[in-house]
């Protein structure tokens, strides 16, 4: 059991490091532009299949840039902007592009001043001497020249996309990659960080890993330990202590993950994930009830022990089912690479296979034990005095 625990710790650490580390491959270096236009710097933005190219001209204090959004359609708008106040939507000075109902691309500037902007053309806090856009091969590219003051050369960047209906730009979704499309940019040094470098995204990843390992792996593992080890008399009371250790560890780690989720919610006004949040609160309450159940556990021969067992098993299996459901809700929100969801599905399949095999073996042991107890004299011969062959 100690080896399994260490394997889970190593798995969670590996998961954290991989989720928190951006890929070193740069697709942007192979992208080309009309008239063989070249830019000094480029970066692959982590979310929404987007890329940023730019050149800073120190002589006149301008940034010549191109924002490319791939895999989009003519019925969706694309936007990129910078926000001196931080990596958030409100305060962003944005460049927006879309294809109108006549099939003509349009680009304009807009200052985002609320969580529900109208995305109408407005002036920015800095000058934009040049702005244009193209749409071809399912790629929207915004070209611009920005005259940015020195105190904004190192700033936050935000990019986004959403639907267009009857030439009206509709609100974007508030989950998955649309919540990861933020980071930082230094036009002078060429350094850029997408959402993977944002502390909020790291907290989201930590939240996901903690809850997956605790509620989604340790909890089922603890239940398997209790159900199948206690059948063997030689494992009593070792199975109980292993069960308590596993479930207690899961609860402590799970509460830490739950607390990070509450903090993320408080730091994200206007963004709600009601099903995920509700199930998370229920899990915390049920988990806490299980801790108190341990303190109130009656003796084996107590008249209320049967009712305690019903309560304990009902809450326990409910926690496992809700945990798995909520973890997949979290995958939909966090929107990591597909391999992480496949890894977790593989772990569930493995635990399910182990539980199935142990269930069959447990029934075999129980049935055999009942038959032995039903015919105790068969152990000592036909006459019960050891005279049989």
CATH code assigned at 77: 2.60.40
Average pLDDT, stretch 234-256? 87
CATH of the domain at 255: 1.20.120.1770
Torsion of CA 204, 205, 207, 209, to 10 degrees: 160
Residue 257 lies in a domain: yes
What pLDDT is stored for residue 159 in this prediction? 93
pLDDT above 60: residue 384: no
Residue 4 lies in a domain: no
What pLDDT is stored for residue 21 in this prediction? 41
Q: What is the mean pLDDT of the chain?
A: 82
Lowest mean pLDDT among 57-61, 99-103, 125-129, 272-276: 272-276
What pLDDT is stored for residue 71 in this prediction? 94
pLDDT above 80: residue 3: no
Residue 21 lies in a domain: no
What pLDDT is stored for residue 200 in this prediction? 58
For residues 78 and 170, membership in a common domain is answered with yes
Last residue of a domain, one of 149, 169, 193: 193
Average pLDDT, stretch 44-66? 90
Residue 333 lies in a domain: yes
Two structure tokens written together for 287: 């988990």
What pLDDT is stored for residue 271 in this prediction? 60
Band (376; pLDDT cuts 50, 70, 90) = low
Residue 389 lies in a domain: no
Average pLDDT, stretch 224-239? 81
* Top-ranked range on mean pLDDT: pick from 157-171, 234-248, 256-270, 363-377: 157-171
For residues 186 and 209, membership in a common domain is answered with no
For residues 292 and 149, membership in a common domain is answered with no
What pLDDT is stored for residue 229 in this prediction? 82
Sheet holding 50-57, edge to edge: 41-45, 50-57, 62-70, 139-147, 127-136
Last residue of a domain, one of 146, 169, 193: 193
For residues 75 and 145, membership in a common domain is answered with yes
The contacts of residue 219 (CB under 8 Å, 6+ apart) are: 247, 250, 254, 319, 320, 323
What pLDDT is stored for residue 13 in this prediction? 45
Residue 17 lies in a domain: no
Residue 226 lies in a domain: yes
- % residues pLDDT > 90 (the chain): 38
How many beta carbons lie within 10 A of that of residue 73, not counting itself?
12
Q: How far is CA 223 from CA 84, 166, 319, 346, in A?
A: 50, 55, 11, 18
For residues 120 and 236, membership in a common domain is answered with no
* 344 phi and psi angles, rounded to 5 deg: -65, -40
For residues 271 and 166, membership in a common domain is answered with no
Do the beta carbons of residue 290 and residue 315 sit within 8 Å?
A: yes
For residues 367 and 243, membership in a common domain is answered with yes
Stronger pLDDT, 182 or 386, i.e. the higher one: 182
For residues 168 and 226, membership in a common domain is answered with no
DSSP classification of residue 85: T
What pLDDT is stored for residue 16 in this prediction? 45
What pLDDT is stored for residue 41 in this prediction? 86
Annotated binding site: 207, 243, 276, 312
pLDDT above 70: residue 199: no
For residues 178 and 245, membership in a common domain is answered with no
Average pLDDT, stretch 63-86? 93
- For 146-166, the pLDDT digits (tens) are 998 888 888 999 999 999 998
What pLDDT is stored for residue 24 in this prediction? 43
For residues 153 and 269, membership in a common domain is answered with no
- For 286-326, the pLDDT digits (tens) are 999 888 888 888 888 888 888 888 988 899 999 999 999 99
Stronger pLDDT, 333 or 344, i.e. the higher one: 344
Annotated binding site for heme b: 207, 243, 276, 312
For residues 68 and 101, membership in a common domain is answered with yes
What pLDDT is stored for residue 270 in this prediction? 54
Band (128; pLDDT cuts 50, 70, 90) = very high
Q: Model-level pTM? A: 0.51
The contacts of residue 67 (CB under 8 Å, 6+ apart) are: 50, 51, 52, 53, 78, 80, 95, 141, 142, 144, 159
Stronger pLDDT, 1 or 313, i.e. the higher one: 313
Residue 382 lies in a domain: no
Last residue of a domain, one of 193, 212, 247: 193
What pLDDT is stored for residue 194 in this prediction? 53
Range of the domain at 346: 199-374
pLDDT above 90: residue 9: no
The domain tally of the chain equals 2
For residues 172 and 214, membership in a common domain is answered with no
């Amino acid at each position: 059991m100690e080896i399994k625990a260490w394997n889970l710790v190593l798995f969670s650490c590996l998961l954290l490091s991989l989720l928190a580390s951006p890929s070193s491959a740069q697709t942007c270096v192979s992208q080309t532009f009309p008239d063989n236009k070249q830019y000094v710097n480029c970066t692959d933005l982590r979310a929404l299949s987007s890329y940023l190219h730019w050149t800073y001209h120190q002589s006149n204090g301008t940034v010549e840039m191109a924002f490319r959004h791939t895999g989009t359609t003519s019925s969706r708008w694309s936007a990129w902007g910078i926000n001196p106040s931080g990596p958030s939507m409100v305060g962003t000075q944005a460049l927006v592009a879309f294809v109108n109902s006549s099939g003509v691309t349009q680009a304009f500037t807009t200052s985002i001043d609320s969580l529900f902007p109208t995305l109408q053309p407005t002036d920015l806090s800095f000058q934009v001497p040049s702005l244009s856009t193209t749409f071809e091969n399912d790629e929207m590219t915004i070209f611009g020249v920005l005259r940015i003051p020195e105190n904004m050369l190192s700033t936050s960047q935000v990019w986004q996309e959403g639907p267009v209906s009857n030439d009206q730009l509709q609100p974007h979704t508030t989950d998955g990659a649309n919540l990861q499309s933020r980071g930082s940019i230094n036009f002078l040094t060429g350094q850029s960080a997408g959402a993977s470098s944002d502390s909020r995204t790291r907290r989201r990843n930590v939240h996901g890993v903690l809850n997956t390992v605790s509620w989604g792996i340790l909890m089922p593992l603890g239940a398997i330990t209790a159900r199948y080890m206690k059948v063997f008399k030689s494992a009593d009371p070792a199975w109980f202590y292993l069960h308590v250790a596993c479930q207690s560890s899961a609860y402590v780690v799970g509460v830490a993950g739950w607390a990070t989720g509450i903090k993320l919610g408080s730091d994200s006004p206007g963004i709600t994930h009601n099903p995920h949040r509700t199930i998370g609160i229920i899990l915390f309450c049920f988990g806490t009830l299980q801790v108190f159940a341990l303190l109130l556990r009656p003796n084996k021969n107590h008249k209320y022990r049967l009712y305690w067992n019903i309560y304990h098993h009902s809450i326990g299996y409910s926690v496992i089912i809700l945990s798995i459901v909520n973890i997949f809700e979290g995958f939909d929100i966090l929107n990591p690479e597909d391999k992480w969801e496949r890894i977790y599905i593989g772990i569930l399949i493995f635990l399910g296979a182990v539980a199935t095999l142990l269930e069959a073996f447990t029934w075999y042991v129980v049935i055999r034990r009942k038959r032995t107890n039903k015919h105790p004299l068969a152990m000592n011969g036909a006459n019960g005095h050891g005279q049989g062959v």
